[in-house]
Structure formats: C-alpha cells, structure tokens
C-alpha cells in the first residue's frame, strides 16, 4: 500500500503528528501479535480542539483484557485496546 486516505477532524490543531495504524492478531490466546505502521503528518490550518496525548509505548498493556481475549470463546462484545478515538 502506498497511499491511504483518512478524514481528520477539522478541530485538530495545526502541528506535526505521528499517525499509527495497528493490527493486533488474537488467534493465539495469551500471545497477541502486534503489526503496526506509522506515518508522520503535518496539519496546517487546523482547529482549536484538544486531543489527548498518548505515550507510545504505554498506550496498551500486555495484560489488557482486550489483548488477552479468547476469540474462540463466543465473544459477544469487544472493546478495542488503547485510548479513545478523538472525535473532534
């Protein structure tokens, strides 16, 4: 993949950001596999929102229920690991 398009909320302030796309494979219970990519972006003419800051590493713990889930156990709901998504 050489190109990815995403809508960024207009309220995100101007500045330099690190965008991280992450996939966590949960096919082995208790042994999640993380695959990630990062891209640096610069937002210009941004807004006045206040998105939360996130420390990487530290945003997801190896013991979080969302990464230790047994996907073969008739899971009826699932909460993605990590911080809440900024909605603007």
Q: Are 16 and 40 in contact (CB under 8 A)?
A: yes
Within a domain: residue 57? yes
Within a domain: residue 50? yes
Query: pLDDT 10s digit of each residue in the chain, 88 long?
Result: 678 788 889 999 999 998 888 889 999 988 999 899 999 999 999 999 998 888 888 888 888 889 999 999 988 999 988 888 888 7
Q: Please give the residue range of the domain that contains residue 23.
A: 19-68
Q: Report how many domains make up the chain.
A: 1
Please state, in angstroms and rounded to a whole number, the distance separating the CA atoms of residues 49 and 29: 38
Within a domain: residue 51? yes
Please state, in angstroms and rounded to a whole number, the distance separating the CA atoms of residues 55 and 75: 29
Residue that has been written with the tokens 């073969």 in this structure: 72
Name the pTM for this structure.
0.67
Within a domain: residue 54? yes
Within a domain: residue 49? yes
Within a domain: residue 11? no
Within a domain: residue 85? no
Within a domain: residue 7? no
């Amino acid at each position: 993949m050489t190109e990815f398009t995403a809508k960024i909320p207009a309220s995100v302030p101007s500045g330099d950001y690190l965008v991280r796309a992450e996939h966590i494979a949960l096919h082995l219970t208790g042994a999640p596999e993380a695959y990630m990519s990062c891209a640096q972006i610069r937002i210009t003419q941004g807004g006045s929102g206040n998105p939360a800051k996130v420390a990487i590493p530290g945003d997801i713990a190896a013991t979080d229920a969302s990464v230790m889930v047994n996907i073969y156990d008739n899971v009826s709901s699932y909460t993605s690991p990590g911080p809440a998504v900024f909605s603007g």
